[in-house]
Chain A
Amino acid sequence: MLDLEYLPYDVLPDILHGLPVKSLIRFRCVSKSWNSLIASSAFINSNLTRSHSDSNKLIVRYLDAKPHVERYKLIHEDNDNNDSSSEQIQDLKLPLRSRLLSHFQLVGSANGLFCLYDENHFILWNPCIRKYITLPNPSVTGFFPCYLVFGFDSKTNDYKVVKIAYQCVNIGYEGAKPPLVEVYSVSEGSWRVTSAGDSYPPRITIRNWHPQGAYLNGAVYFAAIDWGDAGFVASDWGDASSIVLSFDLGDEVFRVISLPNGKFGLDIRILTSKFKGLLSLICYESRHMGEQYSCSIWVMKEYGIVDSWTKQFTIELNMLHWKVLGFWKNDHVLVQKMQSDGLMLSLYDPESRQVKNLGFCKSTCCSYADKYVENLVLLDKPNGVVS
């Protein structure tokens, strides 16, 4: 008959990988051997690439106006060009409140796993399996600004939180001490101080502090300034140039990616992103403060080749206070528009130049929106504190 016990052991995972996460969690109750299979690290690791996540779901994060808490929602986006065919399907509840502030800061997310932070207290949260872990405190603490990064190292199948702690205020100055870099790895379960600071190039300051840099291909990328020989008075900026700084999560080394001369002045607001799997720049330009601005999307078509940076398209929306949150379904742009009573999440099609509204929230603060990815990571960890 239909006895699954007769199937070769290696076939059962192939079947289970076709199931949505909710079914997998429920089926932990089927038997002990199913439970140990589903919670095994081999199954968890292979599930990410095999999973059939619904590609029409978006996860959105915003800060509610009253009370000032963070909220997460799932939105289903119908890909045909109907108006208002997106539907809010679910509220995801973060099971913790920040102890000090009203909400956590979002460090970043990778493969559906979120890294949140408040005052040296880090949380990794996987909303689709409702599991979180609290990280132990890093050893590096200090008064000076620190930059936090979160990403996935595909070489070791490991998630890493990186704390880049600067050791002085003016990092851009000649002779400034390099930062101390400490890395937390989920598989190691602990923080480790690294020598990555040695590879941090001198006189480079990171520009986009919030949101975090773009993550792709096992590294995180930030828009940065190379001060060169420049001083800090505006008239002396001649030598300073925009660059992209990367941190590879595998070998934990900083590297510089140059940008074409003259195209990215310091007056242009630049953020890194990922467009169609390639490193991209979101550039906001306005002639005067308070004026409407245009936004160009640039892509590095061939990795590492300066001349391959190409402008893909320009977005011009007739309004103030909007920003690009990311990209969706290849080349559609997720845009957040600030309205008098809240924020509107919209989708911009660069070909048709049409804007489609996806959802509104009574929020005052910058939000996050990205493809919803189902992932079993953290399933094998006990809930709560990691010792």
Chain B
Amino acid sequence: MASSSTSVVVSNKEKENKNTKKVTLKSSDGESFEVDESVAMESQTIKHIIEDGCANNEIPLPNVTSGILSRVIEYCKKHKEAAGESEPSVTSYTSNSTTNPLTEWDTEFVKVDQNTLFDLILAANYLDIKGLLDLTCKTVADMMKGKTPQEIRETFHIKNDYTPEEEAEVRKENQWAFE
């Protein structure tokens, strides 16, 4: 017992030392966010920028607004904490709820309006944050489950490029999926 608490103390100290390294991320609308480098490196895109030595004072992220960036940073912070002081981890959403302690937090995190959800997908894709991408994509998939093709087209503004005959044929071939 004593030895394990000692090692926790040691690693906290290590944590403090590592955490002094910070990086600034700048959103498309000009807002700056200072974050721990280790948290920022949850994003593979940012990780490569830093490792390539291209991060000077600030890393500009022209594709991400401040509203979205702040949420992304919140996600990364939470997941980094949960993973401990090891390398930036890739916490995949596909792990089931009994093994992923953040499932409840994640579920609350994606309770946002659909526009925000889509913007989070775009940000997670651009910033290459696997866990966030898996989580947001799965959320959209859950919204789609059980819908008819017409409902999908309406919800997501997809153009139907089938002719009525073509559509009838594809539907007939796959009729069982509609039952």
A interface, CB within 8 angstroms of B = 1-8, 10-11, 14-20, 22-23, 25-35, 50, 52, 55, 130
Question: SS class of chain A's interface: helix, strand, loop or mixed?
Answer: helix
Assembly CA distance A28 to B178 (angstroms): 11
Residue among A10, A14, A29 with most chain B CB within 10 A? A29
Q: Which residues of the partner chain A approach B146 to less than 8 Å between Cβ atoms?
A: 23
Chain B residues with Cβ below 8 Å from A8 are: 122, 125
CB distance B115 to A25 under 8 Å? no
Q: Please, which residues of chain B bring their CB within 8 A of the CB of A33?
A: 161
The docked-state distance in angstroms from the alpha carbon of A25 to that of B177 is 6
Q: B148: which of A3, A14, A26 is its contact (CB, 8 Å)?
A: A26
Contact B142 A18 (CB under 8 A): yes
What residues on A are CB-neighbors of B82 within 8 Å? none
Task: Using A18-B141, A31-B160 as known contacts, say yes or no to A11 and B177 having CB atoms under 8 A apart.
Answer: no
Q: A26-B148, A28-B170, A30-B149 are in contact. Are A14 and B137 (CB under 8 A)?
A: yes
B171 within 8 A of A: yes
B122 and A7 form a contact (CB under 8 A): yes
Within 8 Å of chain A (Cβ to Cβ): is B133? yes
Inter-subunit contact B174/A25 (CB<8 Å): yes
Complex Cα distance, B9 from A249, in Å, reads 51
How many angstroms between the C-alpha atoms of A25 and B145 in the bound complex? 11
Closest 9 CB pairs of A and B: A18-B141, A25-B177, A4-B156, A29-B149, A26-B177, A18-B138, A14-B137, A3-B157, A15-B137
Near A by CB (< 8 A), chain B positions 128-179 give: 133-134, 137-138, 140-142, 144-149, 152-153, 155-162, 166-167, 170-171, 174, 176-178
Give the residue among B133, B158, B162, B166 with the most A Cβ atoms within 10 A: B158
A–B complex contacts, Cβ < 8 Å, 5 sampled: A1-B157, A5-B158, A11-B121, A18-B137, A18-B142
Task: Decide if B105 is an interface residue (CB 8 Å cutoff).
Answer: no
The interface residues of chain B lying within 8 Å CB-to-CB of A16 are 141
Distance, CA A158 to CA B167, complexed state (A): 31
Residues of B within 8 A of A3 (CB): 156-157
B141 touches which of A1, A19, A35 (Cβ 8 Å): A19
Q: In the complex, what residues of A have CB within 8 A of residue B153's CB?
A: 30-31
Given contacts A20-B145, A52-B94, contact A31 B177 (CB under 8 A): no
Q: A18-B137, A26-B177, A32-B162 are in contact. Are A2 and B156 (CB under 8 A)?
A: yes
Q: Is B118 an interface residue (CB 8 A)?
A: yes
Instruction: Answer yes or no: B86 CB below 8 A from chain A CBs.
Output: no
Contact A31 B137 (CB under 8 A): no
B57 within 8 A of A: no
Contact of B178 among A7, A10, A14, A26 (CB under 8 A): A26
Chain B residues lying within 8 Å of A29, measured Cβ to Cβ, are 149, 162, 167, 170-171, 174
Name the distance in Å between A250's Cβ and chain B's nearest Cβ: 26
Q: How near does chain A come to B146, taking the closest CB pair, in angstroms? A: 7
Given contacts A3-B156, A19-B145, A26-B174, 11 further A-B contacts (CB under 8 A): A1-B157, A2-B115, A2-B156, A5-B157, A6-B118, A11-B133, A25-B174, A27-B144, A27-B149, A29-B174, A33-B161
Decide: B155 and A2 in contact? CB cutoff 8 A. Answer: yes
In Å, the complex CA distance between A81 and B148 comes to 37
Contact B158 A4 (CB under 8 A): yes
Q: Which residues of A contact B144 (CB under 8 A)?
A: 15, 19, 23, 27
With an 8 A cutoff between CB atoms, is B114 at the interface?
A: yes
Chain A residues lying within 8 Å of B177, measured Cβ to Cβ, are 22-23, 25-26
Shortest CB distance B171–A (Å) = 5
Contacts of A50 in B (CB 8 A): 94
Q: Are A14 and B134 in contact (CB under 8 A)?
A: yes
Please name the residue on chain A nearest to B166 by beta carbon: A32
Determine how close the nearest CB of chain B comes to the CB of A170; give it in whole angstroms.
49
Write out, one digit per residue, whether chain B residues 98-123 have a CB within 8 A of any chain A CB (1) or not (0).
00000000000000001100100110
A14 and B158 in contact, given A23-B146, A25-B174, A29-B174 (Cβ under 8 angstroms): no
Q: How far is the CB of B150 from chain A (nearest CB, A)?
A: 9
The answer on a CB contact under 8 Å between B94 and A11 is no
Residues of A within 8 A of B171 (CB): 29
Minimum distance in angstroms from B39 CB to a CB of chain A: 23
For B147, the chain A residues whose CB sits under 8 A away are 23
* Complex Cα gap A231–B115 (Å): 77
Q: Separation in Å of the A219 CB from the closest CB of chain B?
A: 26
Is the Cβ of B122 less than 8 Å from the Cβ of A31?
no
In the assembled complex, the CB of B27 is this many whole angstroms from the nearest CB of chain A, namely 19
